Structure 1
Amino acid sequence: MARERSSLRDNTSAQIGIGTLIIFIAMVLIAAVAASVLIQTSGVLQQKAQSTGKQATQEVSSNLVVKSIEGIRAKNSSTSMAENISLLKMKVGLNVGSSPVDLNQMVISISDGANNNDLIYGNNEKSYGTAMSDFSSSASADTNLEKLLTSTQASPGDNAAYFFTVSKIRDEDVSFSQGSPIMNTGDLVTIYVSTVSGGDLGYTTIGPVTTSGSQKDSTLDIGPRTTVSLVFTPEAGTVTSVDLVTPSSYGTRETIQLYP
């Protein structure tokens, strides 16, 4: 019986000619275009990933901390005081490792249960199209506080209902000024919010400011047993909320500790 054998042959033939060359060049060009698209896409994705990571880090690291809140009553003398709180004095700092916070871009929402004010920093001229009436970047914090309590303009209206002011307590790196209120880790500031009510407009003094009875209505009414809600919303970072209930009686005290 004959044994069948098979043999393998090498195919040494190849495609030649101008047609083959054109196909080869086309394949090279397609591969180059595809590689260029991939490189460009990966670059865009990398940039977006870095930007998103930076924003996410800022969102979780920019945290305001409210250290304390005091309420100050307007007065004529030590025995003649307003029934309601006329000014909130809030000490605010930053958490350890927090990113810088620009108070010029922060919004403070305050509610007394019936009325609500959305307040911006006195030097912010973007939200309402104008800065706080009579605000000065070169003036002292007490001067700007006086203007917060006593000045008004046609739009948006009384400073007390639309703005807040700030003074620094600790600022080691000199990052804070009235014109550029930047807070870094370790900084401590006092934020002033006017809560003057309509029935307390005739008193002559509120805290360090002599108002001579010219203070403006904030539309808020913070009497005894009032639930007050404060929300601090920075440009970037987490929102800080504080809820408190005022004491059942203010007695003869000019300054009332409200928080903590």
Structure 2
Amino acid sequence: MKANRSLMKKDERAQVGIGTLIIFIAMVLVAAVAAAVLIQTSGVLQQRAQATGQQATQEVSSNLMLKSIEGVRSSDGTNLSETSDLLKLKVALNIGSSDIDLNQVVITVSDGTTTNDLVYAGNTKTYVSPMTGLNTTNATASVIALLEDETANIGDNGKYFFTVEKIRDEDESFSQESPIMNQGDLVTIYISTAATASAANTAVGDLTVADLEPSGLTINPRASFTILLTPEAGSPTTAEFTAPATYGVDTNIALWP
């Protein structure tokens, strides 16, 4: 009888083992789900960190560098105007700067009384249409249009636009249709500062215009002037200057630095 009782003895260890196994499997599944969530979250954070880092680097490093500002007086063939009627800004990129699309640059110019916010003459997104008279193959023709032509829907060209002419472009990446500057490029930005309309003053430096249209700005001798160049990304560039006490008989006047 004792032998039979020993054979009939219950053993519950297997049931305890199955419960432990179930708990272990559940813990593994929970850990796997948590790991998957952490991996996904870390991936998203890494992508955002990289994007933020790139944007921060671009904001810090990308900016335009002004080399010089020159004023040009208009003439009727005999007498020079008392004001500087055209500004020529020589501009390059700062060291380490990313490429800059001048189509997205806004130039704010102020004589203390009037302020004009200017965009590139070929810009199609800011105003109704690009500047009237814009010539995509001849930068000089575009400068003449900046000084003389009126834009039908918004007023004078000189109040709303600037034009650009390349000086140095080793890789030939810059064009009037796609004015993108990269390292090593040097361009001249033209800004109209004609004070009054004049059909007589047809000579502006080496340029010949049909008539001179006003920009609303005035740069007399001793006048203070401010220029702010704001790119799409990066730090803005500011230049402030005071015109010389007299222009004398000079057609071109060095205004800055």
TM-score exceeds 0.5: yes
Residue 153 (structure 2) aligned to one of 137, 155, 170: 155
Offset from partner CA, 1:83-134 (integer Å, 9 cap, x none): 1110001111122222111111111100001010010111111112421122
Q: Which residue in the other structure is 1:61 paired with? A: 61
Structure 1: 5+ residue runs without aligned partners? 1-11
Residue 155 of structure 2 aligns to a residue in which SS? coil
Q: CA deviation at 1:199?
A: 5.5
Q: Which residue in the other structure is 2:222 paired with? A: 225
Offset from partner CA, 1:46-77 (integer Å, 9 cap, x none): 11111111111112221311111110011111
> TM-score, normalising length from structure 1?
0.88
Offset from partner CA, 1:137-184 (integer Å, 9 cap, x none): 2x2100111111122223332110000000011111111111111111
Contact 1:92 1:190 in 2 (8 A): yes
CA distance in 2, matches of 1:50, 1:15: 52
Q: How does 1:22-101 map to 2 (within 5 A)?
A: 23-77=23-77, 79-101=78-100
Q: Which residue in the other structure is 1:254 paired with? A: 251
Q: Which residue in the other structure is 2:139 paired with? A: 141
Q: CA deviation at 1:200?
A: 4.7
Contact 2:198 2:213 in 1 (8 A): no
Residue 92 of structure 1 aligns to a residue in which SS? strand
Residue 16 of structure 1 aligns to a residue in which SS? helix
Number of residue equivalences: 246
CA distance in 1, matches of 2:82, 2:119: 27
Structure 2: 5+ residue runs without aligned partners? 1-11
CA distance in 1, matches of 2:239, 2:123: 23
Q: Which residue in the other structure is 2:4 paired with? A: none
CA distance in 2, matches of 1:76, 1:129: 33
Contact 2:197 2:213 in 1 (8 A): no
CA distance in 1, matches of 2:32, 2:139: 64
Q: Which residue in the other structure is 2:177 paired with? A: 179
Summarize the Cα distance change of 1:195–1:15 in structure 2 as closer, same or farther, 3 Å threshold: farther
Residue 191 (structure 1) aligned to one of 189, 192, 199: 189
Letter in 2 for 1:181: P
Residue 232 of structure 1 aligns to a residue in which SS? strand
1:122 equivalenced with 2:109 (yes/no): no
Letter in 2 for 1:238: S
Q: Which residue in the other structure is 2:7 paired with? A: none
120-129 or 162-171, larger mean C-alpha shift:
120-129
Summarize the Cα distance change of 1:29–1:197 in structure 2 as closer, same or farther, 3 Å threshold: same
Q: CA deviation at 1:219?
A: 0.7
Contact 1:142 1:208 in 2 (8 A): no
Q: CA deviation at 1:259?
A: 0.8
Q: CA deviation at 1:20?
A: 5.5
Q: Which residue in the other structure is 1:9 paired with? A: none
Offset from partner CA, 1:8-40 (integer Å, 9 cap, x none): xxxx95753876665444333322221111111
CA distance in 1, matches of 2:63, 2:195: 31
CA distance in 2, matches of 1:15, 1:146: 95
Letter in 2 for 1:197: A
Identity percentage of aligned residues: 55
CA distance in 2, matches of 1:17, 1:187: 76
CA distance in 2, matches of 1:18, 1:130: 78
CA distance in 2, matches of 1:122, 1:218: 15
Summarize the Cα distance change of 1:129–1:18 in structure 2 as closer, same or farther, 3 Å threshold: farther
